[in-house]
Structure 1
């Protein structure tokens, strides 16, 4: 199986009418089984992975990130576009805006965050100078420009453990540390994709300002409603990005473990 492009996101990003020849497959990995939707768009083979599974039933701290990334690797994925709903710490990145992030701060606590935790997989220290693929980020930005979508070029994503929202004191701290956005899913997803030598980039949809910045108390329904209201822009951006992508493009991301003989799981 050779499906070179994947989209990771919620149910709303996947629209069956987008794909020709749609089908569902289950991929077995040492970390668990993963259900994927496969099909074609713009003549290219594409996989869709629902990060939180059907009905948003899996919270961010319990997502099986290792199984998800390894499943995509095993079907031939080389490039991943991820989507995420985020809160904003930056007054210039307001609700309903898109941000093509370029850095992260990791405040997760209990998640397995690497394929290389000793034992038979060994220990490898992976470079993350550019945690989100610069080449793929450019494609996303070009796609946004083509569709007249306002997308910020760069932003620092603060990844928290969740599933609770952050306190106003935490929001102030993250902002002082240089964070622009706060969410709960980009780590370890971005890290594992780099370890697996795949290009990975994330488009964030700002749904609200963080606690203490927003004058209102945050609710989960507020986030879901904002995402639903703007899901069309995410879909438009994803579809145009796939059209622009060279599905077999080479990249430094795909040689991240070259000095170690490549990714072999």
Structure 2
């Protein structure tokens, strides 16, 4: 796996439920520093549930989640954010009645280094120049692609050590998806570790260093993109082979 030797995230044999519905069945995975790791699988496989468990929105009843060597699976979600884990949720979930600038500033609400916040705002604008042109526009007036850019930009304003992206290409035109993935790769090259949940398996594998395939709450296979692209089940189920 590309990336430094530091293990940023370690998920060990987690089990989780929604009420009586079993959602995760002994899932284990890890991310090393500065890598992109993809989570692939059909709807209902448990991909988003893993993200919710990592961020503290869902508590596992068995297993552990550790971030930079510290166990975090019993911490409140707001504490986990301050540790440096930020999720860009499925469906963007921006604040449509607030301006672009207000949405971005909301991303930095946990931070106290205000001078650095301004510098990070410039970084977001360098990634997404269109947002710099629309700082006073209401977020709800943006196109779908621009809203996704804003959602990612808001996540970056929290200065994450680990960025979780949940279906960033959902509902977007192919040309916009290519731009979103180009920027995700650039964010990673600038030092941010990324865990990517994505239905577009081909695009996800193209930018990832490693990937896990989930089926019914379990990891069914894992490996580098080269290995998974030769796996008959992956080819058949996710790559149209």
TM bin, normalised by shorter chain, reads 0.3 to 0.5
